[in-house]
Amino acid sequence: MTHKVLLLPGDGIGPEIAAQAARLLKACQDAGLDIEVDEALVGGAAYDAHGDPLPEQTLDKAKAASAILLGAVGGPKWDKIEDLSKRPEKGLLGLRKNLGLFGNLRPAMLYPQLASASSLKPELVAGLDIMIVRELTGGIYFGQPRGIEERNGERVGFNTYVYSESEIERIGRVAFEMAQKRGKKLCSVDKANVLEVTILWREVMERLAPEYPDVELSHMYVDNAAMQLVRAPKQFDVVVTGNMFGDILSDAAAMLTGSIGMLPSASLNESGQGMYEPCHGSAPDIAGKNIANPLAMMLSVAMMLRYSLGENAMAERIEAAVGSVLDDGLRTADIASEGMQTIGTDAMGDAVLSAFAKQ
């Protein structure tokens, strides 16, 4: 069966890294992968062209695709748009919500070659392999009511942090199953000392635990989890948490691996359809300079092959190609270190492609 892959480059460094992913997809096709690749606009680019960060034709194509690869959206150019629903980020949130992509997998894995690029001491991060499972279509990102309104003569901003039992249970199951396939340890992160919504979160996780007797469940408050991530990150195997805590903790975990430019992610729905994107944003500070690290994006292609297309061998081939490029001492600026060769985005793409061809 021919798989349909939709590429959404987006904004900032999005198109630069998406170009490398497109070349990699072509190489996969040449190696026998049966895919058809289409492209569409999202985010600021779609707003500029159609006045909408998620035009109907993009959403239709996304719904019809087996998998979506997204670069990044957003940037200062669009930060002044008053109507929040037209901001680039709403394009991304709209895709997640409309496709029901509730299960966000954000692995933080240290390539041994990058131990010295981490901001932590090498011994603290050597062998690091954490999987953050972030709930992606609920919580404070989507809760109602929300808004900014006039109350008692001043403006008040408000959002609602809400989770239903069924939403908690379905992300809990994703996390328990993930833990079963990995180190059998699951840490649920909440703020149950203050917030009712996470008291319920903790209760539901506890209720699920007996169904996964081989998994050791623990709980941690989010402030402590942030601290533990930079104190002793290797204590974690799988972490499950809500939308906003997961957003924050996954950026912190990313840095442990040397750079946010290394971390891919998968966002899955109930039927296994997925959207794949780097954890980082559109990096406006380095956009257009050919210096962005394309590896998170290229590793997102590997995640797509594994989770949506069932092509494990080809996914491993991409991951091995990335490893071999790092072995060769090639680095983009964000992961540069002494004695290594610093190269740009295109050159890193070239290097991965040639290593992929040799695998």
Ligand X SMILES: NC(=O)c1ccc[n+]([C@@H]2O[C@H](COP(=O)([O-])OP(=O)(O)OC[C@H]3O[C@@H](n4cnc5c(N)ncnc54)[C@H](O)[C@@H]3O)[C@@H](O)[C@H]2O)c1
Ligand Y SMILES: CC(C)[C@H](C(=O)O)[C@@H](O)C(=O)O
- Applying CB under 6 A, the residues found at the interface with ligand X are 13, 72-75, 89, 92, 260-261, 277, 280-286, 292-293, 296, 334
| Residues 287, 278: Cα–Cα separation, whole Å | 15
Q: With CB cut-offs between 5 and 8 Å by kind, which of Mg ion, ligand X, ligand Y, none does residue 190 bind?
A: none
Residue 285 marked as a ligand binder = yes
Phi and psi at 148, nearest 5°, equal -130, 125
Nearest to 336, CA basis, from 14, 117, 108, 41: 117
Phi and psi at 88, nearest 5°, equal -50, -40
Q: Where does residue 72 rank: exposed (0-12), middle (13-18), buried (19+ CB within 10 A)?
A: buried
| Residues 61, 98: Cα–Cα separation, whole Å | 12
Q: Tell me the window of 17-25, 88-96, 293-301, 325-333 that interacts with ligand Y (CB under 6 A).
A: 88-96
| Residues 318, 299: Cα–Cα separation, whole Å | 7
| Residues 122, 78: Cα–Cα separation, whole Å | 39
| Residues 81, 53: Cα–Cα separation, whole Å | 11
8 Å CB contact between 72 and 214: no
Q: Does 247 bind Mg ion (CB under 5 A)?
A: yes
Q: Does 353 bind ligand Y (CB under 6 A)?
A: no
Q: Does 93 bind ligand Y (CB under 6 A)?
A: yes
Q: With CB cut-offs between 5 and 8 Å by kind, which of Mg ion, ligand Y, ligand X, none does residue 334 bind?
A: ligand X
* Those residues with Cβ within 8 angstroms of residue 154's Cβ, 6 or more apart along the chain or in another chain: none
Based on the residue annotation, tell me whether 191 is a catalytic residue of this protein.
yes
| Residues 335, 328: Cα–Cα separation, whole Å | 14
Pairing of strands 330-331, 341-342: parallel
Residue 21 marked as a ligand binder = no
Q: With CB cut-offs between 5 and 8 Å by kind, which of ligand X, ligand Y, Mg ion, none does residue 93 bind?
A: ligand Y
Instruction: Identify the H or E element spanning 25.
Output: helix 14-30
Based on the residue annotation, tell me whether 276 is a catalytic residue of this protein.
no
Selected catalytic residue, list 191, 276, 307, 334: 191
For the chain, the residue count is 359
Given its phi and psi angles, is residue 341 left (phi above 0), alpha (psi -120 to 50 degrees) or beta? beta
Minimum distance, C-beta of residue 289 to ligand Y, in the bound complex (Å): 21
Using the rule CB under 6 A, which residue among 39, 48, 89, 346 binds ligand Y? 89
8 Å CB contact between 341 and 351: no
Selected catalytic residue, list 141, 212, 276, 307: 141
Q: Tell me the window of 101-109, 200-208, 245-253, 266-274 that interacts with Mg ion (CB under 5 A).
A: 245-253
Based on the residue annotation, tell me whether 223 is a catalytic residue of this protein.
yes
Selected catalytic residue, list 237, 247, 276, 307: 247
Q: With CB cut-offs between 5 and 8 Å by kind, which of ligand Y, ligand X, Mg ion, none does residue 19 bind?
A: none
Minimum distance, C-beta of residue 23 to ligand Y, in the bound complex (Å): 24
Residue 291 marked as a ligand binder = yes
CB-wise, 274 or 281, nearer to ligand X?
281
CB-wise, 101 or 355, nearer to ligand Y?
101
Based on the residue annotation, tell me whether 237 is a catalytic residue of this protein.
no
Using the rule CB under 6 A, which residue among 52, 190, 247, 311 binds ligand Y? 247
- Residues found near Mg ion in the complex (CB under 5 A): 247
Per CB under 6 A, residues contacting ligand Y are 74, 89, 92-93, 247, 279, 281
- Can you say which residues are annotated as belonging to the binding site for substrate? 96, 106, 134, 223
Q: Which residues are annotated as a binding site?
A: 96, 106, 134, 223, 247, 251, 281-293
Active site residues: 141, 191, 223, 247, 251
Residues making up the binding site for NAD(+)? 281-293
